[in-house]
Homo-oligomer: A and B are copies of this chain.
Amino acid sequence: MPRRAHSDRSSIAETIAIGSELLVGGRSDSNSLFLTEALGRLGIEVRFKSIVGDDRSDIVKVLETAVQRASVVVLTGGLGPTIDDCTREAVAEATGRRLRRRKEALDGMTARLAQWGRVPNRGQLRQALIPSGAAVLPNPVGSAPGFSLLWKGATLISLPGVPREMEAIMQTTVTPLLAAQLESNNARQNPIVRMAFHTWGLPEADVDAKLQGLIPRHAPVDLGLLASPMGVLVSLTTQAHRPVGEAVLTTLAEGVRTRLREWLFAEGRDTMEEVVGRLLTKQGLTVAIAESCTGGLIGHRLTQVPGSSAYVDRGAICYSNRAKTDMLGVPAELITKHGAVSQEVAAAMARGIRERAGVSVGLSVTGIAGPGGATNAKPVGLVYVGLDAGPGDAVSKEFRFHGDRSVIKQRSSQAVLDLLRRWLIGKGGT
């Protein structure tokens, strides 16, 4: 992304996730997407993210840095009842305030625990300790309240790490508070708009080439590309300090759609499984799946969507050859002749599951996920997918994927769901 002009820290935010287990990594910080979006709607841009353990002096260091570069600092975590949780103490130390047990914090917690027939224990009483001068942020769904205070010209907000509690406090208290603050400072910002476009089937370099020259030089919109086993994500993001007309954004988005055409399978937070689910529902169709190398992943993905029981009838995970014959009626001779990983078997699997389930459309995948099972003729990553909607309406495709077992399973599931999506659109769906 191009660099932007910025000389002060106004409308810049930093998030600080606190917890020693977060340092070990490998875990996604699910809070930060929510915070980035919620602050972005106020025109506040998250430009820095920090992660630090449950260590008081380390948290103090991170806080001191954050207030130098951001005007809004949101801490998550470290407000629990155990001795590890030291965010309260760290904020008090950094800002030179004392911790005091606050009536409004204690009352909320006591009332909540009373509902469950309990009284606060010693650890929970610690959760009512708040740095002096801070505003208590009530927690409508849990025991630990958050708090906010002004320090060195920055607004410092401390929230629980539990996503549900963090989100509730953000929505009920923090967002209105920040909006009022921006208003009274006459510092209202343009909301940061981020549009996401999900593509499948084109390498990142080809997506890049197709989008060349889309965004006029110096336009206040950033274009982002991110490749993953599930495809290439394209994003358009506006900048808080420069207003962007709605017409400009609409034109750019239309440009992305025109250039990426059928490779674009979803926008925003939509997923492939939600898109095909909506298309199936609209067309009143049902589906069944025959999976070999994906081992159930396609069924799992389709059934992540609430209400999917209306169009997913069944799936057959046919890991053994005998299962392909038993469950789908794939002739044993066909498997012997072409091998279980072949276009012929993929086609027979899709037809077999459609006929046995009595659904509108059958899907199939057979392939070599590796690391074992490859031969010279059939390498790891060779995958066949099939779709069968009745005589004369069937298609199967060959793919050669790269990656480890898990990546090949993911790419295979995406390939077959995209085959279904294209078929549904070809039938007139949108």
Binding site for B on A (CB under 8 A): 1-4, 6, 20-36, 46-58, 61-62, 65, 69, 82-84, 86, 194, 208, 222, 224, 226, 233, 235, 237, 289, 291, 293-304, 306-309, 312-320, 322-323, 326-327, 356-357, 369-373, 405-406, 409
Contact = CB atoms under 8 A, between A and B. Distances in A.
Nearest to A21: B226
A1 B54 contact: yes
A1 B371 CA distance: 39
Contact of A25 (B33, B57, B291, B308): B33
B21 A235 contact: yes
Contacts of A24: 33, 36, 194, 235
A316 B57 CA distance: 54
A21 B224 contact: yes
Contact of A55 (B4, B237, B357): B4
Given A51-B51, A314-B319, A314-B320, 8 more contacts: A25-B36, A27-B28, A49-B51, A295-B300, A295-B304, A297-B300, A299-B299, A306-B370
A317 B319 CA distance: 13
Contact of A314 (B33, B35, B235, B323): B323
A319 B323 contact: no
A328 B222 CA distance: 54
B29 A46 contact: no
B317 A295 contact: no
A169 B320 CA distance: 40
Nearest to A373: B309
A47 B52 contact: yes
Number of copies: 2
A301 B357 CA distance: 24
Contacts of A50: 48-51
A356 B54 CA distance: 53
A320 B313 contact: yes
Contacts of A57: 3, 6
Given A20-B222, A23-B49, A317 B304 contact: no
B318 A314 contact: yes
A393 to B, nearest CB: 23
A405 to B, nearest CB: 6
A224 B409 contact: no
B320 A1 contact: no
Contacts of A23: 32, 36, 46-47, 49
21 contacts: A1-B53, A3-B57, A23-B46, A23-B47, A25-B29, A25-B32, A25-B36, A26-B30, A47-B53, A48-B52, A82-B208, A291-B299, A295-B299, A296-B315, A297-B300, A303-B369, A308-B319, A312-B319, A313-B323, A314-B327, A315-B317
Contacts of A372: 306-307
A254 to B, nearest CB: 23
Contacts of A52: 47-49
A409 B235 CA distance: 31
Contacts of A405: 304, 306
Contacts of A307: 372
Nearest to A312: B319
Contacts of A296: 289, 291, 295-301, 303, 315, 317
- Top 6 nearest A-B pairs (CB, nearest first) are A296-B299, A295-B303, A296-B296, A25-B32, A315-B317, A26-B33
A358 B281 CA distance: 36
Contacts of A21: 224, 226, 233, 235
Contacts of A326: 314, 356-357
Nearest to A319: B312
A304 B28 contact: no
B357 A323 contact: yes
A356 B326 CA distance: 9
B323 A327 contact: no
A356 B51 CA distance: 51
A1 to B, nearest CB: 5
A417 to B, nearest CB: 13
